[in-house]
């Protein structure tokens, strides 16, 4: 049986369609991979490309995409709402079928070594591919972003795993690793206040917030485990969003994250108007959400697959900002 891994690189360009098309073209040109989704965001100035295939082909396609991104994206002038540290900001590999996370991590390390040695881009390993757990978390690695990395890369303990030990002014640095499936999910609010969105994000994310009182700092965790979140205002949509990464949907499923943001939004006097999926989603997550909302609405939980998916889309407003086609967004359908 074929081994299949997925790759979901995030590129620091969401505005210029020619650049996005050129990077996507490098991926599509590699035999043995299939481009599943291309998801640009103008406000975030970031594009997420999802593709899958046999491991060796995926590694080759990722390398070619990172190379092209470094040629076309200039980090010296790049601006956007999303945190970033390089032209290819992050490039995760995810096991899909007949391959373990450990094996996937080995392929991620091979890719990182090649990028560092051949392209001379500083590369940090993260997730399951990073043996040093003190620097395996993406947000910890990326702290300081592109502008801060000229100094950070020189600090003890922050030399890259591969490539030169100095920040590349044009291409920045990149992070490559292996992880389980992650859902990137933004919840739309009927406000333009990034401050309110960030308050909600801090209330729900696992890391919570830091509260200072009586000269002491105390971390108060949020209500959702295995969730990372931040709030921002997206000019393109003229609204604020709570932007989340659901890192383990067995612990915190999509529908639970959506409902919790709805509850926290009401506490701040705002409402959720819909949501936005970035990239792909597993079929089970949509079916579970459909069953949850049907039960919540007092409907029979048993229903056909297409109706459950339709219920999930309606209930979470996944089509508020753009049409949501399940056959293009659910990974099993695309594969």
Annotated catalytic residues are: 82
Q: What is the dihedral of CA 26, 27, 33, 38, to 10 degrees?
A: -140
Encoded tokens for 198: 């960030």
HSE-CB for 225 with a 13 A CA cutoff: 5
49 close to 85: Cβ distance less than 8 angstroms: no
Rounded-to-integer distance, Cα 114 and Cα 134, Å: 24
Helix, strand or coil, per DSSP, at residue 55:
helix
> Any idea what DSSP says for residue 210?
E
Rounded-to-integer distance, Cα 9 and Cα 287, Å: 26
Q: Which residues of 49-63 are buried (b: 16+ CB within 10 A; e: fewer)?
A: bbbbbbbebbbbbbb
Q: What is the dihedral of CA 112, 116, 121, 124, to 10 degrees?
A: 40
Encoded tokens for 195: 């401050």
**Nearest C-alpha neighbor of 67 from the set 34, 29, 33:** 29
Encoded tokens for 63: 């390398």
Q: In the chain, what are the helix, strand and coil shares in percent, each to the nearest 5?
A: 35, 25, 35
42 close to 69: Cβ distance less than 8 angstroms: no
């Amino acid at each position: 049986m074929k081994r299949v891994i997925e790759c979901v690189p995030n590129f620091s360009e969401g505005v210029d369609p020619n650049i996005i098309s050129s990077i996507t073209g490098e991926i599509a040109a590699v035999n043995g991979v299939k481009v599943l989704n291309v998801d640009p965001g103008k406000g975030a100035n970031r594009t997420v490309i999802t593709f899958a295939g046999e491991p060796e082909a995926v590694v080759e396609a990722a390398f070619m995409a990172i190379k092209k991104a470094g040629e076309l994206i200039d980090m010296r002038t790049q601006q956007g709402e999303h945190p970033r540290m390089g032209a290819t900001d992050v490039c995760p590999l995810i096991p899909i079928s007949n391959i373990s996370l450990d094996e996937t991590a080995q392929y991620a390390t091979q890719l990182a070594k090649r990028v560092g040695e051949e392209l001379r881009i500083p590369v940090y390993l993260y997730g399951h591919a990073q043996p040093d757990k003190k620097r395996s978390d993406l947000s910890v690695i990326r702290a300081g972003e592109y502008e801060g990395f000229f100094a950070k890369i020189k600090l003890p303990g922050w030399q890259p795993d591969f490539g030169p030990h100095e920040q590349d002014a044009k291409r920045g640095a990149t992070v490559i690793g292996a992880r389980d499936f992650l859902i990137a999910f933004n919840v739309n609010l009927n406000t333009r206040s990034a401050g309110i969105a960030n308050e909600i994000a801090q209330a729900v994310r696992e890391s919570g917030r830091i509260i200072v009182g009586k000269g002491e700092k105390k971390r108060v965790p949020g209500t959702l485990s295995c969730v990372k979140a931040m709030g921002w205002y997206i000019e393109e949509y003229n609204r604020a969003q709570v932007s989340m990464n659901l890192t383990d949907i067995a612990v915190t499923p999509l529908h639970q994250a959506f409902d919790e943001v709805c509850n926290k939004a009401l506490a701040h006097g705002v409402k959720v108007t819909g949501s936005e999926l970035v990239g792909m989603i597993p079929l089970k997550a949509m079916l579970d959400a459909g069953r949850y909302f049907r039960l919540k609405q007092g409907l029979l939980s048993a229903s056909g697959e297409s109706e459950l998916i339709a219920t999930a889309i309606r209930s979470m407003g996944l089509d508020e900002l753009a049409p949501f086609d399940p056959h293009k967004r659910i990974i099993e359908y695309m594969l």
